[in-house]
Amino acid sequence: MHRSSPRTRTSGVGRPAALALLAATLVGGLLAPSIAFAQAANGGRSIARMSKFEPSASLGVTEGEIKLPPIGLGGGVDTLDKDGTGSETLFVLSMKTAFKFWRLKAGLQLDLRFDEDLEIRERDFDERSDYLRFIDYVEFGEPGQFAHLRVGRLRDFSVGHGTIVGHYYSDTDYDSPLTGFAAGFHADWIGVEAMTNDITRFNFNAARIYVEPFNWSENTFLEHITIGGSVAVDFRAPGKLRTLAGIPQLDDEVNFRTSNERVLIYGADLELPILETPIWDFTPYVDYNWIQDHGSGGHFGAIFGLTLPFAFEADLTARLEYRAFQSEYIGTYFDAFYEIERFRYPDLASATTKEQFLDEQGSAQGYMAELRFTIPEMFEIAGSWEDMDGQRNDRLDLFAQFTAFEWLKIRAHYHKRNVGGYEDIASFDDQTFLSAQVLVRIWSGLWADVGFDRTWIMDDGDRRFVPVDAWSLGAMWVISF
């Protein structure tokens, strides 16, 4: 039972190189003879893990003969409570469908939201990425199969040990959810992962190549030694905010006007599986990363995995990591908050972007601990804690999912940044991300869907991101053919 660490990403130094690498990964993934998208070591997450249930969750889609896919039709009400700036009520008409055949599966969901004047909400379709928001996922293959390719929302996405890209979300901006792409392959002793956050712009790209140089050996320790190299780049990282009389300026798509800078991060990693048995394994690892023209940082950790001897399979995974950072280095630069904090960092009240703040970031050291317990197809709970030097530099991440019953599905993800003390953990402020969803089958094909999301929204009046609490209540009737 070798829990290979999520093999990280690497991105090109220039836009053509990054696009070429993504294309090569896609082609290689389709042609490689033995391809598997590795589960992330930071909890064993694959690219398919999300804080929202896929459309197939209530459609009962299974692999089988070709037939017309089921369709879900429904409606509901969304209430947006904008922090200190008022509220908004939206009426929602929803249609979704999903199918699975051979190694291909897809989930599509179109939500039309109407304002109180019964007009389609303009902010839902004011930029080109909005027109792909109906794609929840189009996916080829599964982890462990010869290829794993995905187009859709990237939620709780990590690459490798998550030291450059970790817990990343492409839809934390309520008005501007992004449709991304991820692909990977593993052919015996070599593999590649690649991703982009937005297939309409290719702003932020990442990739990783890794090798198992002693894969030919019959020695268990040597066989799984893994050496990797990673690159991640944001070609349009916001630099200096453009202002007029001290007021930030917005473009036609209600985004901040900024200068465009390039943030390039590259790194190397080594994984040494000291012990591997059918019941438990122990794997130390080292990641060392550099931010071009800035600082560097080391991540030194170990992963412990245990398969519990129950009548059903149950997995316990623990991870502990020590971190030592030079000045001008930020670990897990592309994280759950990145699509928001790239404009305002270290908090929403800051006058600096994340790229600008690199010049002010001091040296730091600390640790990260993570624990995950899983009973496949029934239950999962996970949590991580980061504790770094300095004020308000700690982070908490919690995830829970319950799917033991066909008629009931519950999922929640909580992420808190800039924690200064235990009192901050309980506070519900602009440093908090929360997504929760409950699906209940009421009768036959009738489902109820209750959800809550704490994300962010651009307030074009105050010219700033503000937290928004989105409550949703809906019902859906599933029509099967």
| Residue 5: band (very low, low, confident or very high) from pLDDT cuts 50, 70, 90 | very low
| Residue 320: band (very low, low, confident or very high) from pLDDT cuts 50, 70, 90 | very high
Q: Of 21-25, 80-84, 105-109, 332-336, which range is least confident?
A: 21-25
The SS3 assignment for 27 reads: helix
What is residue 32's predicted lDDT score, i.e. its pLDDT? 29
pLDDT digits (tens, 9 = 90+) for 151-167: 999 988 889 999 999 98
Structure-token pair, residue 382: 């996970």
What is residue 103's predicted lDDT score, i.e. its pLDDT? 87
For 296-323, what is the mean pLDDT? 92
What is residue 59's predicted lDDT score, i.e. its pLDDT? 58
Structure-token pair, residue 5: 């660490």
Q: Is the Cα torsion angle 24, 26, 30, 35 positive or negative in sign?
A: positive
H-assigned helices in 204-315 = 220-223
Which residue did the predictor score with more confidence, 45 or 291? Answer: 291
Q: Is the Cα torsion angle 157, 160, 161, 164 positive or negative in sign?
A: negative
For residue 14, pLDDT over 50 is answered with no
Spatial distance between the Cα atoms of 129 and 201, rounded to a whole number of angstroms: 8
Contacts of 443 (CB under 8 A, 6+ apart): none
Which residue did the predictor score with more confidence, 10 or 81? Answer: 81
Q: What is the pTM of this model?
A: 0.83
pLDDT digits (tens, 9 = 90+) for 416-445: 988 877 778 878 888 888 999 999 999 988
Phi, psi of 422 (to 5 degrees): -60, -30
| Residue 184: band (very low, low, confident or very high) from pLDDT cuts 50, 70, 90 | confident
For 157-178, what is the mean pLDDT? 91
pLDDT digits (tens, 9 = 90+) for 263-287: 999 999 999 999 888 899 999 999 9
For residue 99, pLDDT over 50 is answered with yes
Measured from the Cβ of residue 366, the count of other Cβ atoms closer than 10 Å reads 17
| Residue 405: band (very low, low, confident or very high) from pLDDT cuts 50, 70, 90 | very high
Question: 192 near 25, Cβ under 8 Å?
Answer: yes
Beta 180-187 vs 148-152: how paired, if at all?
antiparallel
What is residue 85's predicted lDDT score, i.e. its pLDDT? 67
For 360-386, what is the mean pLDDT? 94
| Residue 40: band (very low, low, confident or very high) from pLDDT cuts 50, 70, 90 | very low
Burial string for 215-237 (b: 16+ CB within 10 Å, else e) reads eeeeeeeebbbbebebbbbbbbb
Beta strands in 242-295 (DSSP E): 243-244, 247-248, 258-271, 275-276, 280-291
| Residue 143: band (very low, low, confident or very high) from pLDDT cuts 50, 70, 90 | low
By CB atoms closer than 10 A (0-12, 13-18, 19+), residue 247 is exposed
Question: 457 near 174, Cβ under 8 Å?
Answer: yes
Spatial distance between the Cα atoms of 28 and 192, rounded to a whole number of angstroms: 9
Structure-token pair, residue 285: 């690892």
| Residue 55: band (very low, low, confident or very high) from pLDDT cuts 50, 70, 90 | low
Contacts of 400 (CB under 8 A, 6+ apart): 380, 381, 382, 410, 411, 412
Q: Of 24-38, 212-226, 294-308, which range is least confident?
A: 24-38
Give percent above pLDDT 70 in the chain.
84
Mean pLDDT, the chain, rounded, equals 83
Spatial distance between the Cα atoms of 204 and 341, rounded to a whole number of angstroms: 14
Residues found in the chain? 481
Question: 256 near 249, Cβ under 8 Å?
Answer: yes
For 218-240, what is the mean pLDDT? 92
For residue 20, pLDDT over 70 is answered with no
For residue 92, pLDDT over 80 is answered with yes
For residue 339, pLDDT over 80 is answered with yes
Structure-token pair, residue 175: 């008005």
| Residue 102: band (very low, low, confident or very high) from pLDDT cuts 50, 70, 90 | confident
- Domain assignments of the chain as residue spans, ordered by start: 15-479
Contacts of 35 (CB under 8 A, 6+ apart): 29, 141, 145, 146, 147, 148, 184, 185, 186, 187, 191
Spatial distance between the Cα atoms of 136 and 58, rounded to a whole number of angstroms: 14
For 441-469, what is the mean pLDDT? 88
CA dihedral 157, 160, 164, 165 (to 10 degrees): -10
Question: 173 near 205, Cβ under 8 Å?
Answer: no
Question: 439 near 447, Cβ under 8 Å?
Answer: yes
Give percent above pLDDT 90 in the chain.
53
What is residue 36's predicted lDDT score, i.e. its pLDDT? 29
* N- to C-terminal Cα separation, the chain: 41
Structure-token pair, residue 453: 């999301």
